[in-house]
């Protein structure tokens, strides 16, 4: 099965808005109206649509990511186990195998275990939080909702039909998260005891990873910010200068070397968010139509073998 992130050309930790922009751009590029009778473009168009269907809402995306994780875990065990009483298998797995009561190797091998059992805890949860640039720069409060296991109130966590005898149930929890001023993409905020609750032990922790929407024309590659800069074909070939509006809110002039190629990059130190570097990537400034003089100039180029 193909990786939807790869199909859309985004990283796995990209903010939702960035994935949406990537989808729209590719869907436009490979749309059948724009590529009549082109079966390769049609296949690409379908692949882009399929990829988007897997990621188009935060819920779908989370489900896809969790399935991928489970496939990795259960890959060697003959596939996924079946549904477990309406409870996500991911919850069950995390609660009872992941973070909870890891068996400790006994230092007295062969003897009965004398050490007291480790206190059980609910599993930790990691979840992303998308924020915009303003929020990242200025900080502030953001509403956050996540699903977690909480102790069953029907049976006081002793096990009943409501919690399929697990003592915990899946529940939506709303939180207010304080985003620090100058927050960085990929920064993690830890919220103690806001992870999964445990039937008898302490709750696990919640770790929220911030994803900053870098806005149109920019994308993240890990923690590096890439900004596309469209330049004319003549500037690509002959070299020159181009004006770049940086995410730090400045407009700078950048030299373009002769014979630059599409995809070439240049690092602008401290021009990204919060004093970080910005990598610009040159793309071709495409034209939907030509003026008569441009048409004439291009025809002359063609005749000159370019």
Instruction: Please report, as ranges, the residues that interact with Zn ion according to CB under 5 A.
Output: 152, 154-155, 160, 162-163
Q: How far is the CB of 160 from Zn ion (least distance, A)?
A: 4
Cα angle 233-224-255, degrees, rounded to a multiple of 5: 35
Could you give the CA distance from residue 229 to residue 245 in angstroms, rounded to a whole number?
A: 9
Per-residue HEC secondary structure of 98-155 comes to HCCCCCCCCCCCCCCCCCCCCCCECCCEEEEEEEEHHHHHHCEEEEEEEEEEEECCCC
Q: How far is the CB of 102 from Zn ion (least distance, A)?
A: 25
Q: Which is nearer to Zn ion, 155 or 244 (by Cβ)?
A: 155
Q: Which is nearer to Zn ion, 137 or 152 (by Cβ)?
A: 152
Could you give the CA distance from residue 224 to residue 97 in angstroms, rounded to a whole number?
A: 34
Q: Which is nearer to Zn ion, 152 or 210 (by Cβ)?
A: 152
Question: Which residue, among 43, 34, 62, 44, has the nearest Cα to 8 in the 3D structure?
Answer: 44
Q: How far is the CB of 158 from Zn ion (least distance, A)?
A: 7
Coil, helix or strand at residue 244:
strand
Residue nearest to Zn ion (CB): 152
Q: How far is the CB of 161 from Zn ion (least distance, A)?
A: 7
Q: Which is nearer to Zn ion, 19 or 168 (by Cβ)?
A: 168
Q: How far is the CB of 70 from Zn ion (least distance, A)?
A: 25
In degrees to the nearest 10, what's the CA dihedral of 131, 134, 139, 142? -40
Q: How far is the CB of 90 from Zn ion (least distance, A)?
A: 20
Q: Which is nearer to Zn ion, 17 or 160 (by Cβ)?
A: 160
Q: Which is nearer to Zn ion, 102 or 156 (by Cβ)?
A: 156
Q: How far is the CB of 85 from Zn ion (least distance, A)?
A: 11
- One-character DSSP codes across 148-203: EEEE-TTTTTS--GGGTTSSEEEEEEEEEEEEPTT--TT-EEEETT-S---SSSB-
Q: Which is nearer to Zn ion, 126 or 165 (by Cβ)?
A: 165
Residues recorded for the chain:
306
Look-up of token digits 């960035």: 18
């Amino acid at each position: 099965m193909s990786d939807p992130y790869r199909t859309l050309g985004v990283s796995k930790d990209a903010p939702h808005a960035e994935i949406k922009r990537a989808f729209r751009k590719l869907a436009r590029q490979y749309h059948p109206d724009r590529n009549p009778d082109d079966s390769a473009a049609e296949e690409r168009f379908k692949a882009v649509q399929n990829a988007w269907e897997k990621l188009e809402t935060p819920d779908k995306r989370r489900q896809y990511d969790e399935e991928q994780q489970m496939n990795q875990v259960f890959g060697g065990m003959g596939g996924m186990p079946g549904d477990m009483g309406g409870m996500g298998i991911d919850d069950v797995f995390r609660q009872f195998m992941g973070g909870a009561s890891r068996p400790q190797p006994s230092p007295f091998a062969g003897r009965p275990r004398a050490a007291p059992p480790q206190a059980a805890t609910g599993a930790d949860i990691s979840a992303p939080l998308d924020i915009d640039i303003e929020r990242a720069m200025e900080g502030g409060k953001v509403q956050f909702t996540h699903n977690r296991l909480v102790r069953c109130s029907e049976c006081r966590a002793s096990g009943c039909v409501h919690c399929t005898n697990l003592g915990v149930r899946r529940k939506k929890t709303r939180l207010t998260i304080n985003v620090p001023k100058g927050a960085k993409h990929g920064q993690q905020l830890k919220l103690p005891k806001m992870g999964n609750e445990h039937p008898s032990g302490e709750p696990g922790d919640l770790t929220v990873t911030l994803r900053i929407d870098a806005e149109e024309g920019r994308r993240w590659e890990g923690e590096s910010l890439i900004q596309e800069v469209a330049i004319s074909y003549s500037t690509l070939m002959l070299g020159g200068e181009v004006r770049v509006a940086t995410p730090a809110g400045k407009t700078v002039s950048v030299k373009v070397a002769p014979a630059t190629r599409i995809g070439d990059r240049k690092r602008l130190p401290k021009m990204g968010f919060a004093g970080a570097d910005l990598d610009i990537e040159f793309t071709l400034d495409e034209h939907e139509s030509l003026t008569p003089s441009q048409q004439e100039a291009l025809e002359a180029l063609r005749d000159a073998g370019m």
